[in-house]
């Protein structure tokens, strides 16, 4: 029976709760600060954030006779700890450290202080938090540290399934979704088989222990503006030109001498604007799904590929492909008793190899203190994803967070892939 203080998980939340049974489904949201605080100051500020925002002290209820639900529980203690060491290593540790979903909390805060600067990490179980939701918590924390006082009390974010605008392809009628699936299959067949990165030796089964590795790549204001201007000049989006660089890097990594390869791109699409009434931008929650597109990639002009990527992704979203996951999700495949995990494992292992590039985009600084320098987030790849790249622009500063699983993509291959993509973007910004 659902707690009076809770709400059922929406399909996206249930998907990531099931995914977490296979591989940790954690999203790490980071803020780089041009100042340093005492650890006890940050701990007290995080306590204020937890008191005001039930997402930060949430847990999952999994009743035997009903769907799983999210509850903001005042009895759940806040999770804060100062950390030390290399930032990328701490992020990787946060990615692989699971949450106790029944006991909570499903969000934790870590603080790394350095010489003249520091980093705040807010890590959340992806069933309850996405990158933008994590940014809300970081903003609240920065406000308290800046002396604004405790943030206003908030309710749990609304459930996704109860306010969908009419006309979208949702479970009320599965026929449009099935028709769209047939159209997509026809387009894939016409385009031909996808190419994959062949690794020698072959990676271990997906059940092997993960070895997450993260690298952060920072562009200054001038380079960020120049890169986005280059995208606009070619008729592309920022997401399009960033995705194009990673696609070309994968083409280069394959290295079999062929002039072009047919590759897959996965784009997380934010659907919160499609709720009725719309969900305010400052509400923490998980409202994303996946859009898949395929592209023939060679060593041609980056702008031309970026324009094609942008158009294909937008066309997929317009067709309703962002809603397909929700339209096809069923309670039996999203069960948290092990059946859902077995079904999901089979589906992911059978899925084509792809790269995932997020469309977090530009985060508004609003009233954030001037000492908040950068904001970004990291999510680890599933076994069919060669890597997961998140691109976040804050104060006109682009940060790319590239996450790989080195149990599946060896360090030398991952380094070549990342170096190639970042080099292409830097060159585009310099043109």
Q: Identify the DSSP state of 275.
A: B
**Residue 272: per-residue pLDDT:** 62
**Residue 330: per-residue pLDDT:** 63
CA 31 – CA 29 distance, rounded (Å): 7
127, 25 contact by CB (below 8 A): yes
**Residue 207: per-residue pLDDT:** 66
Domains in the chain, CATH or no CATH each: 6-145 (3.30.559.10), 175-430 (3.30.559.30)
> Hey, which bits of 101-159 come out as E strands?
107-113, 118-125
**Residue 329: per-residue pLDDT:** 65
Q: Which of 410, 357, 412, 405 is nearest to 382 (CA)?
A: 405
Q: Which of 126, 118, 69, 42 is nearest to 378 (CA)?
A: 126
CA 396 – CA 409 distance, rounded (Å): 32
**Residue 267: per-residue pLDDT:** 93
The tens digit of pLDDT for each residue in 258-316 reads 999 999 999 987 766 555 555 665 555 556 678 899 999 999 999 999 999 999 999 88
CA 395 – CA 376 distance, rounded (Å): 12
**Residue 348: per-residue pLDDT:** 86
**Residue 359: per-residue pLDDT:** 77
The tens digit of pLDDT for each residue in 39-73 reads 999 999 999 999 999 999 999 988 777 778 888 88
24, 210 contact by CB (below 8 A): yes
Give how far Cα 76 sits from Cα of 139, 148, 166, 284, Å: 22, 25, 38, 18
The series of mean pLDDT values per 10 residues for the chain, 431 residues long, is 60 84 93 97 97 92 79 91 96 94 95 95 92 91 95 77 50 72 85 85 72 96 97 96 98 95 90 59 62 93 96 87 71 73 85 89 91 96 93 96 92 95 97 86
């Amino acid at each position: 029976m659902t707690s009076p203080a809770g709400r059922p998980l929406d399909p996206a939340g249930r998907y990531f709760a099931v995914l977490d049974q296979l591989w940790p489904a954690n999203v790490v949201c980071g803020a780089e600060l041009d100042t340093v605080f005492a650890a006890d100051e940050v701990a007290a500020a995080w306590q204020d954030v937890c008191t005001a925002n039930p997402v930060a002290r949430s847990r999952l209820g999994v009743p035997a006779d009903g769907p799983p639900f999210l509850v903001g529980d005042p009895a759940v203690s806040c999770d804060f700890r100062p950390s030390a060491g290399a930032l990328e290593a701490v992020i990787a540790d946060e990615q692989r450290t699971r949450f106790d979903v029944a006991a909570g909390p499903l969000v934790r805060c870590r603080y790394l202080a350095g010489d003249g600067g520091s980093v705040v990490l807010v890590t959340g179980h992806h069933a309850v938090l996405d990158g933008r939701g994590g940014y809300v918590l970081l903003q609240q924390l920065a406000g308290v540290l800046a002396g604004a006082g405790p943030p206003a009390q908030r309710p749990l974010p609304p459930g996704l399934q109860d306010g969908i605008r009419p006309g979208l392809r949702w479970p009320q009628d599965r026929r449009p979704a099935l028709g769209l699936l047939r159209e997509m299959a026809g387009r894939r067949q016409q385009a031909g088989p996808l190419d994959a990165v062949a690794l020698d030796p072959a990676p271990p089964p997906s059940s092997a222990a993960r070895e997450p590795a993260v690298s952060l790549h920072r562009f200054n204001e001038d380079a960020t503006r120049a890169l986005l201007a280059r995208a606009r000049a070619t008729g592309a989006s920022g997401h399009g030109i960033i995705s194009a660089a990673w696609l070309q890097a994968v083409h280069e990594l394959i290295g079999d001498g062929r002039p072009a390869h047919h590759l897959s791109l996965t784009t997380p699409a934010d659907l919160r604007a499609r709720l009725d009434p719309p969900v305010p931008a400052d509400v923490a929650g998980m409202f994303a799904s996946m859009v898949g597109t395929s592209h023939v990639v060679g060593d041609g002009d980056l702008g031309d590929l970026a324009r094609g990527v942008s158009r294909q992704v937008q066309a997929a979203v317009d067709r309703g492909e962002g809603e397909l996951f929700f339209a096809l999700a069923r309670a039996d495949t999203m069960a948290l008793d092990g059946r859902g995990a077995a079904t999901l494992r089979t589906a992911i292992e059978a899925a084509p190899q792809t790269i995932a590039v997020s469309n977090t985009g530009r985060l508004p600084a609003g009233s954030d203190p001037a000492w908040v320098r950068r904001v970004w987030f990291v999510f680890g790849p599933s076994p069919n994803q060669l890597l997961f790249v998140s691109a976040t622009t804050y104060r006109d500063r682009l940060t790319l967070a590239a996450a790989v699983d080195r149990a599946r993509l060896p360090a030398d291959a991952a380094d070549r892939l990342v170096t190639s993509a970042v080099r292409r973007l830097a060159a585009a910004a310099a043109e």
